[in-house]
Structure 1
Amino acid sequence: MAPSAEPETVRAANERCASGVHPRQPADPRVVAFYDALTSHYPDRGPRVAEPGSPWASAPLHAESDHIHMKLDESCADVVLELIEKYAAQFHLDLLDLQDGSVYRAF
């Protein structure tokens, strides 16, 4: 999605994802870089997922060509949220908070 996407567009894309509709397109390099950076700290596959301190309530993460869907554990440390925001800003990605529907531009 373009960095200038309106919040309604971001929410609509999430609704399509939730219904199982995903675009058939090459992976966005920004999304790939975000996923690689984040999972280098907090793997979503392999034995480290079960270690104490893993932020994932559900793993592996749902990764598509244009988005990553993350379900965080309720006891997730603030440092994880800060890292997610840092990488979203670094790679010019929007964050959608599914709890209240807010769209954040971290950049």
Structure 2
Amino acid sequence: MARIKFSSTIDLIKYPISTNKTSLLLENNQYTFLVDPVLTKINVKKAIEFLFNVKVIKVNSCNLPKKKRRVGQFIGVKPRYKKVIVKLAKENTIDFSSTD
């Protein structure tokens, strides 16, 4: 397996997921992100701790299934991502509201 540079690991975390189910997970201090499939749980943990300055207790991950996409006659596959649920320590939270 090829080594991944830590600086590029931060770019491989795509974005947080905001759905009804993930909002219920927020009550347990669990946050859901889409990441690149090449990341391991250890890489995800280090990147989240670095980006948000929090303590990660547990990382659950699952590969999402392939989805077909059709454009005219061409049938292709959408980009694949990995869904990651990150559990933080009780005293830590992540604020997604932007102040821009």
TM-score (norm 2): 0.26
State TM-score, norm by structure 1: 0.25
Task: Tell me which structure has the larger Cα radius of gyration.
Answer: 2
Specify which structure has the higher proportion of strand: 2
Larger helix share, 1 or 2: 1
